[in-house]
Amino acid sequence: MSRRDIQLDDQGRLRHFLTTEGLPRDLLERILDTAASFTGVIEKSIKTVPLLRGRTVMNLFFEASTRTRTTFELAAKRLSADVLNLDMGSSSAVKGESLLDTLRNLEAMQCDMFVVRHADSGAAHFIAEHVGDDVAVVNAGDGRHAHPTQAMLDMYTIRRHKGDFEPLRVAIVGDILHSRVARSQIHALNGLGAGEVRVVAPRTLLPRDVERLGVHVYHEIEAGLRDVDVVITLRLQRERMQGALLPSEQEYYQLYGISRERLALAAPDAIVMHPGPINRGVEIESAVADGPHSVILNQVTNGIAVRMAVMSMCLEGRGSRAEEDE
């Protein structure tokens, strides 16, 4: 079964949200439209809606996170769900309990959704294959494979600033090889019809056959940034690097850092994005990260509405587990 099959039901609605790869354009647009309706909600003084009242969401983070975990928690609370944040580093997994046994026990507590971050590629898909039909799984980042809600909040941020995707040139700069965010962004940008998607990186930080993802490859930063409407820069993911792929962070900054001078090569109204956490002076100059073109903190804000959209769409039309067991 393909990853697309497991995450959609017979009517093409979201059952799980595991990857942006292969998702039809109308579904990607519906996520963005639903997020737009929630942005209206969370900008009010009363920021909650009762859509997931009585539902239970468990955040299972096996890997560190600041932005994703907190915005998933806020999103669930804005939807009136009950939320539990499990610190998997202090769970019974450290006493030898298998992942599946942990899941079975959490499911027995009538959970409706697992939000999963894991260091292993494919972990969220594995969990989705093993939970009961009533439980939805949302991938909050698995290894170097996918980070689909990050990609959708990035798409939402781009649409809010730029409107249509079709005329846009987008450059993704940096450690594409180890980046789950870049993969999910590339699938989402192509799915939404972006005019041109570029990746800009040294050969050592690009996957083999990256062109097959539907991107134009640049090794020289000046050429890669020329006339683009959106610059997305990425962190060097040292925790996933094996061997010496880079001479030094200083040299990387000299060759690929986003400085004011380099940004001047992009379109005059270009926006600068970064999924975070940022490393100032390594992939981006502080004056750019904090400057007028930066929408980095808007991305974080938009994460709440986009995660509300994904969570509500995954549970739309399903009875709560507690009701069904009565």
Chain positions contacting ligand CP, by CB under 6 A: 65-68, 141, 150, 275-277
Residue 46 beta carbon to ligand CP: minimum distance, rounded to whole angstroms: 27
CB of 305 to ligand CP, least distance (A): 16
Our CB check for ligand CP shows the closer of 8 and 232 to be: 232
Smallest distance from ligand CP to CB 303, Å: 8
Q: How far is the CB of 147 from ligand CP (least distance, A)?
A: 6
Q: Which is nearer to ligand CP, 191 or 275 (CB)?
A: 275
Q: Which is nearer to ligand CP, 202 or 275 (CB)?
A: 275
Closest to ligand CP by CB, 184 vs 320, is 184
Q: Nearest to ligand CP by Cβ — which residue? A: 68
Q: Which lies closer to ligand CP via its Cβ, residue 7 or residue 71?
A: 71
Q: H/E/C letters for each residue in the chain?
A: CCHHHHHECCCCCECCECCCCCCCHHHHHHHHHHHHHHHHHHCCCCCCCCCCCCCEEEEEECCCCCHHHHHHHHHHHHCCCEEEEEEHHHCHHHHCCCHHHHHHHHHCCCCCEEEEEECCCCHHHHHHHHCCCCCEEEEEEECCCECHHHHHHHHHHHHHHHCCCCCCEEEEECCCCCCHHHHHHHHHHHHCCCCEEEEECCHHHCCCCHHHHCCEEECCHHHHHCCCCEEEECCCCHHHCCCCCCCCHHHHHHHHCECHHHHCCCCCCCEEECCCCCCECCCECHHHHCCCCECHHHHHHHHHHHHHHHHHHHHCCCCCHHHHCC
Nearest approach, Cβ of residue 220 and ligand CP (Å): 27
Nearer to ligand CP, 12 or 277 (CB): 277
How far apart are CB 150 and ligand CP at their closest, in Å? 5
